[in-house]
Chain A
Amino acid sequence: MGSLVLEALSKRYGSSTAVERVDLEVAQGEMVALLGPSGCGKTTTLRMVAGFIPPSGGRVLIGGQDVTRAPPYARDTGMVFQSYALFPHMSVAQNVAFGLEMRKVGRAERDERVMEALRLVRLDHLADRLPRQLSGGQQQRVALARALVVNPAVFLLDEPLSNLDAKLRGEVRMEIRALQQRLGLTTLIVTHDQEEALTMADRLVVMERGRVRQVGTAEELYEHPADPFVAGFVGRCNLVSGRLEGGGFRAESGALLRCDSTGAPADAALLALRPERIRLDPDPAGEARITAVTYLGAQTEYHVEQRGTTLLVTRPTPPLGDPMRRLAVGDAVVLSWDAAAVRLLPAA
């Protein structure tokens, strides 16, 4: 039995459905990310767990207890809001102490635990500041400390990094993950950023239009996407429509692409191939042509057209002086890949 369980959780607004029968189990100490494009129902799901939105159907269980009808204050969850939602009239220490006061923790223990939580997020030196006297990153860490200090049964994060600049985001990401693992917090995090989800969570839940498309580890989702949406949303992916033919895959444009069709669904209509799994070699006799080259520092991206089908190829940028470095638009190349690198998927 998971520490947090969602059973067929649904939310309808009039005739539109924000969340449709979501099932999920989060184990004790596990961090699960809800990942999906904007508007797919991530926040609604999280807020139903916290108790801010009454579900239209289904159940929420925390620690085995049905809390579907329980008000927010009676649920043992600690939430970090996207906007942080600090109390503007209270100092950092008062903000962090609030949850302990509500739990009637005595003065001495409260002060101790507040300072401990602030040390954890390295803000103990700013305990007496007001939220508006802090930077965005510092406010974010106060919000973390405020939610953590009460030792919640479930830790909830709604796009916690979206208001931070890119550099800070990477740091805070690591910091949240380290805290979560150190404290063994059962965590549900919402994000639309796949990199965030891939690097932080034990498991990911890919959502689209209110439904769960696939649940799995980062590796499972990346290597074995269940459908074209997941293949396209988690990492980048070449998706070519066509059908199985002989031992290969006949693209609609006519090109025959190499693939391993053993175990492929009979109705396979899409070939999924990660851009970094494609090898690319200069060959004047090759029938593929480079149509675009994008230098990205560590990597270089090539758009390569082969008999009407354009594939994205990413390669580590070759060292200076390497003949590959001189590849340019219009050059003839040969593409190749292992048959096992290909995933065959049913139509979208």
Chain B
Amino acid sequence: MAALVLPAGLLVVMLLVAPMLLLARISLNRFSPTELMVEATTAENYWRAVQDPYYQQVLGTTLGVALGCTVLALALGFPAAYWLARMESRWKSLATILVLFPLLVGNVVRSAGWMALLGNEGAINAALMGMGITSRPLPLLYNTGSVVVGIVAVVLPYMILTLAAVIEGIPRQAEEAAANLGGRPMTVFRRVVLPLALPGVVAGSVLVFILCMNAYATPVLLGGPQFKMMAPAVYDQFVRGNNWPFGAALAFILLAVTLVLTVVGSTLLGRRYRAA
């Protein structure tokens, strides 16, 4: 058995870990405009990223958008997940496919769709101006709002499916028992459904938060050139600036912040679960 598992295991480790190790090594190198990269063991890339107000702001924007999108996806996803989980079996597979459907279209294509909808010549502005509600196009695109809308639309299926899997495991009779004992629908939700769904809330939020922190295509296309999040910033360093060491350092800062917040957040939520 081990003889079979070992090569496969090694391959997985190679695929997952090797690029990370390589990137970690690169982040400690020194950038040179002439030679691109000089072997070194220095933390100066990290220092520069942490101290530069520009990157502080980019990280701040990234965190704000990721947290906002996670909360929004949770608020929108929970009712949908509940509805999906409690659906009769013959409709359930159809509804699941409908939820999954957006994932069949890549992020870039989907963002292009949002551009066609929200842009100055987009469908919404055309309709508003056609009806005479506004004479000049509203600035719907290229702002935080359009990015948040775009990202939420991308991550919502992940949130819904993760939550639905957990809600399905909550016995319906527990809800009925709570109603039978005098619990009104909101009380039943707060006292029975939500506490029992909390593992799903944690898993879905962690998953979605990580996706949001690393969003690339959506902020680039829907945020426009002025709007910067971390993943596009990393890309800029690697491709436009050719500064691999600094790009790698940015990537690791993004990873570290995501990891810490994920662990802290899920621990806090998990503690509430045990208390409930």
Interface residues in chain A, defined as those with a beta carbon under 8 Å from any beta carbon in chain B? 50-52, 71-73, 77-79, 81, 83, 85-89, 98-99, 102-103, 146-147, 150
Contact = CB atoms under 8 A, between A and B. Distances in A.
A52 B174 CA distance: 13
B173 A85 contact: yes
B66 to A, nearest CB: 29
Q: Across chains A and B, which 10 residue pairs bring their CB atoms closest together, nearest first? A: A102-B182, A99-B181, A85-B173, A85-B177, A72-B179, A79-B180, A89-B195, A73-B179, A81-B173, A73-B182
21 contacts: A51-B179, A73-B179, A73-B180, A78-B180, A78-B181, A85-B174, A85-B176, A86-B174, A87-B177, A87-B178, A87-B192, A88-B174, A89-B195, A89-B196, A89-B276, A98-B183, A98-B191, A99-B181, A147-B181, A150-B181, A150-B182
Interface in B145-183: 171, 173-174, 176-183
Nearest to A102: B182
A85 B178 CA distance: 9
B134 interface: no
A339 to B, nearest CB: 51
A51 B180 CA distance: 8
Contacts of A147: 180-181
B187 A102 contact: yes
Given A98-B191, A99-B181, 14 more contacts: A52-B176, A72-B179, A73-B180, A73-B181, A78-B181, A79-B177, A81-B176, A86-B174, A89-B196, A89-B276, A98-B178, A98-B181, A102-B187, A103-B182
B184 interface: yes
A71 B188 CA distance: 13
Nearest to A75: B180
Interface in B171-219: 171, 173-174, 176-184, 187, 191-192, 195-196
Interface in B196-248: 196
Contacts, number: 61
A49 B173 CA distance: 16
Q: Per DSSP, are chain B's interface residues mostly helix, strand or loop, or mixed? A: helix
Contact of B173 (A78, A83, A89, A150): A83
A83 to B, nearest CB: 6
B91 to A, nearest CB: 16
A229 to B, nearest CB: 31
With a 10 A CB-CB cut-off, give which of A52, A83, A102 has the most chain B CB atoms. A102
B174 A50 contact: no
Nearest to B182: A102
A134 B43 CA distance: 56
Nearest to A74: B182
Nearest to B196: A89
A146 B181 contact: yes
A86 B179 CA distance: 13
A81 B195 contact: no
B210 to A, nearest CB: 27
A79 B192 CA distance: 17
Nearest to B180: A79
A127 B176 CA distance: 23
A7 to B, nearest CB: 22
Nearest to B274: A89
B195 A85 contact: no
Contacts of A81: 173, 176-177
A73 B276 CA distance: 22
Contacts of B182: 73, 99, 102-103, 150
Contacts of B174: 85-88
Interface string B109-143: 00000000000000000000000000000000000
B171 A85 contact: yes
A50 B195 CA distance: 25
Contacts of A73: 179-184
